[in-house]
Chain A
C-alpha cells in the first residue's frame, strides 16, 4: 500500500521522533519513538524506546531496546537488553544478554546467550538454542530463562526454568528445571538437569 519513497530516520545524540514508515532507522545515542514503526533496517547503538509496534526486516541493537508493542521482523539481533510488551515474531532471533517478552516468542531460528535475566511467556520455533553465559560466582543467580513452555523441532536448553518443553529432538542441558518434557524422536539430558517427568509422544 505504501508506494511513496521511504526516508531514513537518524537520531544522533538524544532525540525523539514520531513513528511512521521509514527505510532505515538509525540511532546512535538515546532515542524515543512515538507511535508504530515500519522500517526496513533498524540499527541502534545505545538506547531506543518505541511507544508502539515495530515492523522491521533487520533489527540490530547494541544496547537497550524497549518496545511497548509487538515486534514483527525477519532478523532480530540484540546485544544487550530487550523488552517487548507484546509478542515477537521473527525468522531469526539472536539475543546475547537479557530480555523480557510479555507474550509469545515465535521465531524460526532462536539463539539465546544468557548474560542477564530472561523471561518470556512462551517460545515456539524450529531450532531453539538457549545457552547460559559465563558464570562467575556472584553472577550465577539471575542468569536464567524463565518461560512457561518451549516448543520446537530441535530444542537445546541451558539454565532454563520451564513448565513444559516439547519437540522432536529435545536436549536439556545444565542448570535447567523442567516439569515436563515431551519428545518425538530424541531426548538427552545433562545429569545436573532437574526434570520432573519426560515422555516420548
Chain B
C-alpha cells in the first residue's frame, strides 16, 4: 500500500524533468520503465497515472544521464536482470509479489530446504502461478507442473519450449515440448493449457527488474 506522498503524478514528472509524453511512452516501450510502476488512480479529473516517487525519480535521472551514451536497447539491458545473478530470498519473493503465496507455498512444500531462489526456481514457480491464476489447474495438480519443469526445463534453455497440461477422465498430466511442435491427442484428452516458456521468461525478467 503506498501513501499519496509516495507517488508522483505523470504530469508532475514530465514537468519536473522537461520530458514529453512521446519520450515517456517510448521509454516504456523500450522497457526502461517497468509496467508495474504505472499506477492508475481515480482523481477529480478522472483516471490518472502515478509512479512510485523514489523509484521513478532515480530511474529518470539514470536515463537522462546515460541516454546520450547508450542506445535505448543497451539501457534496457542494464535495467533488466541477468538470470545468472538472480538470488532471491523467499521473503523478497513474497514482498515483491513475484508469484502468489499459493504457488510459492507449493514450491516450498516440495523443497523445504530452498531458502534462496535462483532464476530457475522462480521461473518454475512462475509457470505454476500462471496456470493457477487462470484457474486452469488446481493446487493439487500443481506438483506435476513443478516436477516436469524441474526435470525437463534444462533441455529448453537455448531453444523455445512449452508446457502442455492435459486432462483425461479427471486425471491430469503435463509434458514439456519444443515450441512449436505438432502433437495430437486421442479424443478423450482435453488440452487444458499450453504455456509458452520464452514468454514466461521474458515476463519474469520484467517483474524482476523492478
- The CA of A106 and the CA of B22, in the complex, are separated in Å by 9
Is A171 at the interface (CB under 8 A from chain B)?
Answer: no
Minimum CB distance partner of A22 in chain B: B180
Q: Mark A78-117, 1 if CB is under 8 A from B, else 0.
A: 0000000000010100000000000000111000000000
Contact between chains at B22 and A2 (CB < 8 Å)? no
- The CA of A9 and the CA of B160, in the complex, are separated in Å by 15
- The CA of A195 and the CA of B142, in the complex, are separated in Å by 54
- The CA of A149 and the CA of B48, in the complex, are separated in Å by 9
Complex interface: chain B residues within 8 A of A35 (CB): 162, 179, 194-196
How many chain A residues touch B (CB < 8 A): the figure is 43
Contact between chains at B25 and A18 (CB < 8 Å)? no
Contact between chains at A125 and B25 (CB < 8 Å)? yes
* Nearest Cβ on chain B to A111's Cβ, whole angstroms: 15
Is A158 at the interface (CB under 8 A from chain B)?
Answer: no
Minimum CB distance partner of B21 in chain A: A151
Complex interface: chain A residues within 8 A of B158 (CB): 1-4
With A4-B159, A168-B20 known to touch, is A148 a contact of B47 (CB < 8 Å)? yes
Q: What is the interface of chain A mostly: helix, strand, loop, or mixed?
A: strand
Contact between chains at B45 and A180 (CB < 8 Å)? yes
- The CA of A13 and the CA of B47, in the complex, are separated in Å by 44
Contact between chains at A166 and B194 (CB < 8 Å)? no
Is B46 at the interface (CB under 8 A from chain A)?
Answer: yes
Minimum CB distance partner of B194 in chain A: A35
Interface residues of B in 160-198 (CB under 8 A from A): 160, 162, 178-183, 191, 194-196, 198
Contact between chains at B25 and A36 (CB < 8 Å)? no
Complex interface: chain B residues within 8 A of A124 (CB): 21, 24-25, 28
Partner of A21, one of B160, B182, B191, B195: B160
Partner of B182, one of A3, A18, A22, A149: A18
* Nearest Cβ on chain A to B125's Cβ, whole angstroms: 19
Contact between chains at A125 and B157 (CB < 8 Å)? no
- The CA of A184 and the CA of B19, in the complex, are separated in Å by 11
- The CA of A153 and the CA of B159, in the complex, are separated in Å by 40
Complex interface: chain A residues within 8 A of B114 (CB): none
With A1-B201, A152-B21 known to touch, is A19 a contact of B180 (CB < 8 Å)? yes
Complex interface: chain B residues within 8 A of A55 (CB): 199
Is A164 at the interface (CB under 8 A from chain B)?
Answer: yes
With A35-B196, A36-B199, A55-B199 known to touch, is A19 a contact of B20 (CB < 8 Å)? no
Instruction: Name, among A19, A20, A126, A149, the residue most crowded by chain B CB atoms within 10 Å (CB to CB).
Output: A20
Contact between chains at A148 and B46 (CB < 8 Å)? yes
Contact between chains at B180 and A106 (CB < 8 Å)? no
Q: Mark B58-87, 1 if CB is under 8 A from A, else 0.
A: 000000000000000000000000000000
Contact between chains at B160 and A4 (CB < 8 Å)? yes
Partner of A20, one of B21, B46, B157, B160: B160
Instruction: Name, among A1, A125, A201, the residue most crowded by chain B CB atoms within 10 Å (CB to CB).
Output: A1
Minimum CB distance partner of A1 in chain B: B198
Contact between chains at B22 and A18 (CB < 8 Å)? no
Is B29 at the interface (CB under 8 A from chain A)?
Answer: yes
Partner of A126, one of B22, B47, B157: B22
- The CA of A52 and the CA of B28, in the complex, are separated in Å by 22
Is B26 at the interface (CB under 8 A from chain A)?
Answer: yes
Complex interface: chain A residues within 8 A of B182 (CB): 18
Complex interface: chain A residues within 8 A of B199 (CB): 36, 38, 52-53, 55
- The CA of A60 and the CA of B11, in the complex, are separated in Å by 35
Residues of B within 8 A of A (CB): 11, 15, 20-26, 28-29, 45-47, 157-160, 162, 178-183, 191, 194-196, 198-199, 201
Excluding A18-B180, A35-B194, A149-B46, 15 further A-B contacts by CB distance (< 8 Å) are A2-B158, A2-B160, A4-B159, A18-B179, A20-B179, A20-B196, A22-B180, A34-B191, A53-B199, A106-B29, A108-B29, A152-B25, A153-B20, A154-B22, A201-B15
